[in-house]
Amino acid sequence: MTIRRIILNPVVAAFVLLALPAMADTHGSDTSELLEKLREPDLENWQRVERQLFREWSRSGSASADLLLQRGRAALERGDASAAIEHLSALIDHAPDFAEGWNTRATAWFMARNYGLALNDIRETLARNPNHFAALIGLGRIMEDLERYDDARRAWNAAAAIHPHRRDVKAALERLDRKLQGTSL
């Protein structure tokens, strides 16, 4: 890890974590209803609700922006983070208020192991959509990779508050509890 990334990662992470409580919801009633449904403790078809949310979040309102998002995601599926970053950077230039463009590029930066830029894009995602549990999951993963376990727990807990059904979130919180509490002999 370069010295720049070692310094930048904690600075960006601190900014993201401090900004979380101040972010306002910018989405309409369609996503609000889906988010309320997702929070229901006994929801059996949560995967369907999750897919509907992702579908809503992936609609930019612009055919060209949607095409750039599609191309960026296709590059990610091929494992080509560099091409994905190019498409998604063009998308962000075209539609800077579109949270999903920032979130998908954060994923590309993560794949490229550039955590500082991934954290910046997560911050931008959450500024536009504070209910984006996938961005919070990404934040939790990065914080764990950086061994910032308290910050990781805050991110995973924030994701769980929005989406309590994800098994990966539950597993991450259990894993962090073991790390933070230690093991007794």
Cβ–Cβ contacts within 10 Å for residue 100, how many? 27
For the chain, list the domains and their CATH numbers: 3-180 (1.25.40.10)
- Kindly tell me if the per-residue pLDDT of 20 is higher than 60: no
Amino acid, single-letter form, for residue 136: L
CA distance 71 to 77: 10
Contacts of 177 (CB under 8 A, 6+ apart): none
Look at residue 21 in the predicted model and tell me its pLDDT.
Answer: 38
DSSP state, residue 158: H
Read off the pLDDT band of 171 (50, 70, 90).
Answer: very high
Q: Is 183 left (phi over 0), alpha (psi -120 to 50) or beta?
A: beta
CA distance 138 to 127: 15
DSSP state, residue 130: T
Q: What is the mean pLDDT of residues 135-153?
A: 96
CA distance 109 to 86: 11
Kindly report, residue by residue over 97-125, the tens digit of the pLDDT.
Answer: 999 999 999 999 999 999 999 999 999 99
